Copies of this chain bind each other. A is one copy, B any other.
Amino acid sequence: MSEDFLKVALAAKEAAAELAPLPRAPKDAALRVIADALVAASAEIVEANALDVRRAVENGVSEYMVDRLRLDDARIASIAEAVRQVADLPDPVGEVVRGNTLPNGLELRQVRVPLGVIGIIYEGRPNVTVDAAALCLKSGNATLLRGSSSAYESNTVLVRVMQEALAGTEVPAGTVQLVPGTSRDSAKELMRARGLVDVLIPRGGASLINSVVEESTVPVIETGVGNCHVYVDADADVELAVQILLNSKVQRPSVCNAAETLLVHAAVADAFVPRALAALAAEGVTVHGDDRIAAYGDVVAAGEEDFRTEYLSLDIAAAVVDSLEEAVAHIRRYGSAHTEAIVTRSVGAARRFVSLVDSAAVAVNASTRFTDGGEFGFGAEIGISTQKLHARGPMGLPELTSTKWVYTGEGQLRTAQGTVLASTEACSR
């Protein structure tokens, strides 16, 4: 482990210990100071960002990626506004999750506490630098940020501005740390920092997430890969199904909760597929269909690979199935366990689909696009977990916490016969 990395990791760990017991007020105050400082430093941030943007353009990066990278005064103002919104959210730390008085008189409670140090590995969107730092700070955690090397100049200034802002608050300045350097080694150090980093959250595309999962010895929360399905049941309202399919596919094709595969029950195919193909074509969607879909119109022939693909574009794979169970088997085989929707009028079919599908979210007669922390009412999200441990689905502030058991007594001792009370000194209580 390099000295540079160890220095920031230890600083984050020390800050995390100081930050954890802080109540809500000083954390909210610090977030507002950060928001003001970002706005005040707009010129400096834009200047640093221009270096990143110029290098990206020189390197022939696509206009879409350059746009994600670019910061201007308006974007900085909106980043700062998002920080103020995080300040307005309730603090998950200290929430009593469960609690009761045990038969032996011990008062037992399970209380939310921060995780500690959270590592974030992400791509070339500098807004994530501030967004992740703010969500972690609010939930009492220190952050080790490792953004794309393409945004290093921007991230360096953003983190410095946040640290300088914190220096005048009760929150330790070390709470927000940028992993130094832009080499792949610096990302690896973060992935191997078991004992220094409590959890690692990758935010980005499938290849980034897979490489973090493969290489990391720190516990990882996988986020975001969404090969989402819309299943149109035998009992579906055809018009409703067309609209839910369209909305799931085209409302924002580049995001993880967009639909990537359509499955249609054979009994409704005659009524549904022609209308669906026409509607998709009208929206410019290319359909990659199996033979039974192809019987209804012009589609690109779908190979097995299509059913595994998260297109994130105006493409959709499509197949006809003979039963709800076959649809579920398809989803289990090819899906990423993010979000699957069923369109049906049948209570029994809805109940069976919800029960059998093993995904983070299941939608009944609604668009897949609602699997989102904002839509669920969390106020903000750090990502959408597609794993089963710790957090599943949209992750809000409570998902950035752990818990601690506290039990309070008056001298309870455990014996083979049960609890006895210790005797105390005379007049001592």
Cβ-defined contact, A407 with B345, below 8 A: no
Cβ-defined contact, B412 with A102, below 8 A: no
Q: How far is the CB of A78 from chain B (nearest CB, A)?
A: 16
Q: A131-139, A163-171, A397-405: which lies at the B interface? A: A397-405
Cβ-defined contact, A20 with B358, below 8 A: yes
Q: Which residues of the partner chain B approach A428 to less than 8 Å between Cβ atoms?
A: 237, 239-240, 345
Q: Which residue of B lies closest to A217 (CB)?
A: B214
Interface centre among A358, A366, A371, A376 (most CB of B within 10 A): A366
Q: A7 interface residue, CB < 8 Å from B?
A: no
Q: How far is the CB of A422 from chain B (nearest CB, A)?
A: 4
- The A contact surface, by secondary structure, is mixed
Q: A305 interface residue, CB < 8 Å from B?
A: no
Contact of A410 among B100, B110, B354, B365 (CB under 8 A): B365
Cβ-defined contact, B404 with A106, below 8 A: no
Cβ-defined contact, B389 with A389, below 8 A: yes
Cβ-defined contact, B389 with A219, below 8 A: yes
Cβ-defined contact, B244 with A364, below 8 A: no
Q: A47 interface residue, CB < 8 Å from B?
A: no
Cβ-defined contact, A237 with B376, below 8 A: no
Q: Given A388-B198, A403-B392, A404-B392, do A415 and B366 touch, yes or no (CB 8 Å)?
A: no
Q: How far is the CB of A196 from chain B (nearest CB, A)?
A: 13
A interface, size bucket: 35 or more
The residues in A between 327 and 375 inclusive whose CB is less than 8 angstroms from any CB of B are 332, 345, 350, 354-356, 358-367, 369-371, 375
Q: Given A390-B390, A424-B240, do A404 and B362 touch, yes or no (CB 8 Å)?
A: yes
Q: Which residue of B lies closest to A389 (CB)?
A: B390
The CA of A17 and the CA of B328, in the complex, are separated in Å by 11
Q: Which residues of the partner chain B approach A393 to less than 8 Å between Cβ atoms?
A: 110, 403-405
Interface centre among A199, A355, A394, A403 (most CB of B within 10 A): A355
Q: Given A21-B356, A219-B387, A415-B251, do A370 and B407 touch, yes or no (CB 8 Å)?
A: yes
Cβ-defined contact, A237 with B424, below 8 A: yes
Q: Which residues of the partner chain B approach A405 to less than 8 Å between Cβ atoms?
A: 360-362, 371, 376, 392-394
Cβ-defined contact, B237 with A429, below 8 A: yes
Q: Which residues of the partner chain B approach A359 to less than 8 Å between Cβ atoms?
A: 404
Q: A198-B388, A370-B412, A392-B402 are in contact. List 8 more A-B contacts (CB 8 A).
A: A21-B355, A198-B389, A239-B424, A362-B405, A364-B407, A366-B408, A393-B405, A394-B405
The 4 closest A-B pairs by CB, nearest first: A366-B409, A243-B422, A388-B402, A247-B413
